[in-house]
Amino acid sequence: MLKNNKTGEETVLNATGFFVAIGHKPNTDIFKGYLTMDETGYIQTIKGTSQTNIKGVFACGDAQDNVYRQAITAAGTGCMAALDAERFLVEHEVESFIEERAS
């Protein structure tokens, strides 16, 4: 059942499925002036990675993907960002620092 929120008219729409998109602007304003973004506000990453223009800062999901957005992209690129961050920390020997502090 569909309801026209202006007229109140209700109609039945026969469908086998539908997709709802929530918003077309990412919530990335907090990073303006720091991270490179496109004209819509999506954080730009180095092609094929989750790396941003700032060394050690990674972006993923619908904050950086203006094509697919939402859940699957967030899960997949979230994994990419976690792996990129881990490699960055190991490369910069942060892992040994963290281990020293933990013991």
Q: Is there a domain that residue 4 lies in?
A: no
Q: Is there a domain that residue 1 lies in?
A: no
Backbone angles phi, psi at 58, to 5 degrees: -125, 150
> Count of alpha carbons within 13 Å of 30, Cβ hemisphere only?
2
For residue 13, what pLDDT is reported? 87
Q: What is the DSSP letter of 46?
A: -
User: 8-22, 30-44, 49-63 — which one is most confidently predicted on average?
Assistant: 30-44
Q: Is there a domain that residue 13 lies in?
A: no
Q: What is the CATH number of the domain that holds 88?
A: 3.50.50.60
Q: Is there a domain that residue 15 lies in?
A: no
* Distance, CA of 89 to chain centre: 21
- Please give the tally of structural domains in the chain: 1
Q: Is there a domain that residue 83 lies in?
A: yes
Q: Which domain does 86 fall in, by range?
A: 26-102
Q: Is there a domain that residue 68 lies in?
A: yes
- Per-chain mean pLDDT for the chain: 83
Instruction: Answer whether 0.75 is exceeded by the pTM.
Output: no
Query: 5-30, pLDDT tens digit by residue?
Result: 999 999 998 887 766 556 678 889 99
